[in-house]
Amino acid sequence: MNNRDLIKKLRDNRELSRDEYKQLLISMTKEDEEFLYKNAREVREEYYGKDVYVRGLIEFTNYCRRDCLYCGIRASNKECDRYRLSREQILECAETGYELGFRTFVMQGGEDMKFSDEEMCMIISDLKERYPDCAITLSIGERERTSYEKYFAAGADRFLLRHESITPEHYSRLHSESQKIETRVRCLKDLKEIGYQVGCGIMIGSPFQTVDHLISDLLFMKEFKPHMIGMGPFIPHAQTPFRDRPAGKLEDTLHMLGIVRLMLPYVLLPATTALGTIVPTGRELGLLAGANVVMPNLSPTGVRAKYTLYDGKICTGDEAAECVACLKRRIESTGYRLAVARGDCAERC
């Protein structure tokens, strides 16, 4: 079957075999790409129209107990200038965001146990009390199921936890010995059972990644049926063991975005900051390949540059309002529009 027929088949059946994914991923021509993105846009518009949802990202701590080899805030990076936002600072970020039209706040941080369950619950319930019309998303890594239950009871709605790679040998080459893909998957399943809208995801072009790994990730995502999928290119960070590794490629990331949109039509799919970092128009191209979410930064400008998972991260000097104005322009240049809405998943998963 030629690639166009495979793309049609993926759109109709919402899945392909391993061999079919492989053919698509390794032999896509420019014409095939355009056909893939056109189909991805049509499907995205069936479910979400022209709306692009914004999530205000509050990077509230860069302390981390983990040692992911790719990540700039890994525990072993002694050069990382660590910070924590106070509860008041977090609420101020949310206030700014609300005024700018954000109806989802993403609390993202390293695995910082100084933020105890009690502290997390206080922050979540404060946010929920002040902004009952907003969704609260957590992106704080692995914790006990009982902790996840407490945050959910306090008002958290969503949780982002990328699985990074479903292939155990690959996962272990990206992480320290104490980190296991089984634990990650257990967390994802717990989160879903508890009732969160859950996001998993991977980096594209991470060290040692092969096409077969990517296919396994596609099959895992199809089976797990997350509400959201975060996928951006890997970008090296100078203070990590992967400093000399090449960054993931724009085309590979766009192919995966298009394929995922056809495989899981309802999924919330961000055009990531990492994509906008490797290519200036990366996020626009992401939206045109099937993505429908952007996640501008709401963190205070004083700490932005300290939350560097990878080198060259964009927007670290801009006030939230500037980022929103810039993003609005970028979104509109693609023919889409920035939506003031919670932006929930279009289907119950």
Q: Which residues in this chain contact ligand FES in the complex, by CB under 6 A? A: 64, 66-68, 71, 73-74, 110-111, 141
Q: Which of 196, 221, 78 is nearest to 140 (CA)?
A: 196
Kindly state the smallest distance separating residue 238's Cβ from ligand FES, in Å.
15
Kindly state the smallest distance separating residue 313's Cβ from ligand FES, in Å.
14
**235 makes contact with ligand 5AD (CB under 6 A):** yes
CA 295, CA 290: separation in Å to the nearest integer? 15
Region for residue 193 given its phi and psi (left: phi exceeds 0; alpha: psi -120 to 50; beta: otherwise): alpha
Part of the chain binding ligand 5AD (CB under 6 A), chosen from 13-21, 48-56, 232-240, 316-324: 232-240
**330 makes contact with ligand 5AD (CB under 6 A):** no
Kindly state the smallest distance separating residue 113's Cβ from ligand FES, in Å.
12
Residue 310 binds: one of ligand 5AD, ligand FES, none (C-beta under 5 to 8 A by kind): ligand 5AD
- Residues in the chain, how many? 349
CB 115, CB 69: distance < 8 Å: no
Sheet-wide strand order for 135-139 = 56-61, 104-109, 135-139, 158-160, 197-204, 228-233
CA 194, CA 189: separation in Å to the nearest integer? 9
Q: Could you tell me which residues are beta bridge partners of residue 59?
A: 108
User: Which single residue is written with the structure tokens 């609420």?
Assistant: 91
Residue window 55-84: x/- pattern of binding to ligand 5AD, with contact defined by CB under 6 A: ---------------xx-------------
Count the site residues for ligand 5AD by CB under 6 A. Answer: 12
Q: Which is nearer to ligand 5AD, 54 or 339 (CB)?
A: 54
Kindly state the smallest distance separating residue 57's Cβ from ligand 5AD, in Å.
10
List, in order, residues 6 or more apart from 88 with CB less than 8 Å away. Answer: none
User: Which single residue is written with the structure tokens 């059972």?
Assistant: 193
Kindly state the smallest distance separating residue 65's Cβ from ligand FES, in Å.
8
| Residues of the shown chain interacting with ligand 5AD in the complex, contacts defined by CB under 6 A | 70-71, 162, 164, 203, 232, 234-235, 237, 274, 309-310
